[in-house]
Structure 1
């Protein structure tokens, strides 16, 4: 079954888990104790072990599909002369 978001889920002892998390926890070493699992090919239903890898939240966001053709660029640090934008239209 899927969770409504294309990620297959499994039930273990009455508890629902995303299949890719169970597989990664059991079979993919995580020596850096990274928190998330990335689908390398961006297909959430492709849970082959060679398609899964442990990543940081930032790395996982870099490999996501935008769904609307927008290309995202992420940075981990801002330079000292960066300007913080706190308002954008009606959003803040």
Structure 2
């Protein structure tokens, strides 16, 4: 943001084109783990997603993806009546 001469604030970058807006047909895990976007930097395969504070263990994409899907499957097994279009 930058201050204009008249005191109002405005963005210093041009508006994002409609084609570059975030997709609306993905779940949050799909958006975070699987989607690409023109404004999102490309991550190197070996770059960590998380680093454990106490021991410094790096957690990469494959482990995050595996644990995310494991959590989703466990929630589905625990509450089988919740479906794709359920309000929770």
Q: TM-score, normalised by structure 1?
A: 0.26
Relative CO higher for 1 or 2, CA cutoff 8 Å, sep ≥ 6? 1
Higher normalized helix content (fraction of residues): 2
More strand by share: 1
> TM-score normalized by structure 2?
0.27
